[in-house]
Amino acid sequence: MCRDPRLRSVRGMIRIDSLTKRYGDLAAVDDVSFTAFPGRVTGFLGPNGAGKSTTLRILTGLAAPTSGRATVLGRRYADLPNPGLDVGVLLDASAQHGGRTGRETLVLAQRTMGLPDAQVDAMLDLVGLTRTESQRRVRDYSLGMRQRLGIATALLGDPRVLILDEPANGLDPAGIRWMRDLLRAFADDGGTVLLSSHLLAEIELVADDIVVIGHGRVVASGATHELLAASGTLVRAHDGEALVSALASAGYRATPGADGGVVTDAGPADAGRVAFAAGLPLVELRSADGTALEEMFLDLTADDQRDPHPIGALA
């Protein structure tokens, strides 16, 4: 990824370079490197506690790294003269002063950035908060409304870069769709979007690039379509164990999936032949789009899961 020619365009870019953050013996972020490019939505995917939020806090100058470097637009975030005009940040929608009205929250940001008053109403319209709602105190907002208010704060300065931590939390399906369209339009307009999520399905739909993080380390990164591209065959038989051993003895790699299916590097035709020769009736046989990514993600999640069927984490 480092030899990517797009790296030369520094404008509108987020760059994380060998970033490490230690809390005592625990490395919350362990030598993380990746780049988010202009015109693209970069999904930062990982289970809860993988180090996503810590990375984003370091990126936005709210935490100091133990070592390594994070830059936005070629500079350290703290060195941006008026960061709100370049980078829109929403790290936690619930972190807003409950005693202020939604509108007042925006006015404070607008004044800090030195923007015209009209920008506040423009943003309220953009995120779909009515005038009446904006006069209510944030304490009385639902999480979905707080997300919208947070997005409004982030977009207020008309930035070129957006950094969002779990922005879909608390949004209803229509809200999630709205958020996805908004981020798409932002990136299509040349903006850089970095958003984190612990939900693969959500990231898959909007991200052009995906960075997968687990236990503080990047375990996979690349273009979404490449990561999700056919990476083997999904075979399902009633006797999963027999199928695995049949495939293995035929010289293929075969891993049993969490839901009874078997992922193998054999092509669909070969996999079917092996099963037929072993006398195993198949229930399902298809090329495993995205299954490898899903399996990897489930493996990451499984370590911290209490649920014996970690597939639930993707729901």
Minimum CB distance to another protein smaller for 114 or for 251 = 114
- 89 in contact with another protein (CB under 8 A): yes
List binders of another protein among 199-218 (CB under 8 A): none
Least CB distance from residue 213 to another protein, whole Å? 18
Q: Which stretch binds another protein (CB under 8 A): 179-187, 222-230, 242-250, 306-314?
A: 179-187
What crossing angle do the helices spanning 173-188 and 143-155 adopt, rounded to 10°? 10
Sheet containing 209-214, strands listed edge to edge, beginning at the edge strand earlier in sequence: 87-90, 161-165, 192-197, 41-45, 209-214, 217-223
Q: From residue 307, how far is each of 169, 301, 311 by CA, in Å?
A: 21, 10, 9
CA separation for the pair 182, 96 (Å, rounded): 22
Residue 113 vs 220, nearer CB to another protein? 113
Burial of 244 (0-12, 13-18, 19+ CB in 10 A): buried
**Angle of CA points 28, 32, 34, to nearest 5°:** 140
Residue carrying structure tokens 């490395």 = 27
Which residue stretch of 38-46, 229-237, 247-255, 260-268 sits at the interface with another protein (rule: CB under 8 A)? 38-46
**From 121, 172, 189, 259, residue interacting with another protein (rule: CB under 8 A):** 189
Residue 281 touches another protein, criterion: CB under 8 A: no
> What secondary structure does DSSP assign to 200-230, as a single string?
HHHHHHH-SEEEEEETTEEEEEEEHHHHHS-
Half-sphere exposure of 242 (CA within 13 A, CB side): 12
Tell the smallest beta-carbon distance from residue 236 to another protein (Å): 40
Minimum CB separation of residue 253 from another protein in Å reads: 38
**74 contacts another protein (rule: CB under 8 A):** no
From 30, 86, 202, 204, residue interacting with another protein (rule: CB under 8 A): 86
Is 139 or 309 the residue whose CB approaches another protein more closely? 139
Identify the residue among 17, 22, 27, 63 touching another protein (CB under 8 A).
63
Q: Pattern 6-35, binding to another protein, x per CB under 8 A? A: x--x-x------------------------
Q: Which of 84, 216, 240, 290 binds another protein (CB under 8 A)?
A: 84
Token pair for 59:
């990126």
- 92 is an interface residue for another protein by CB under 8 A: yes
Q: What are phi and psi of 206, to 5 degrees?
A: -115, -25
Spatial separation of the C-alpha atoms in residues 57 and 109, rounded to whole Å:
19
Residues 6+ positions from 208 with CB-CB distance below 8 Å: 40, 41, 42, 187, 223, 224
By beta-carbon proximity to another protein, the closer residue of 96 and 255 is 96
The 130-169 site mask, x for binding another protein (CB under 8 A), equals -------x---------------x-xxxx-x---------
b/e burial code for range 225-237 (CB count within 10 A of at least 16 → b): eebbeebbbbbbb
57 binds another protein (CB under 8 A): yes
Structure tokens at 189: 């307009």
**Residues at the contact surface with another protein, assessed by CB under 8 A:** 6, 9, 11, 38-40, 57, 60-64, 77-78, 80-86, 89, 91-92, 94-100, 104-105, 107-109, 111-116, 119, 122, 126, 137, 153, 155-158, 160, 182, 185-191
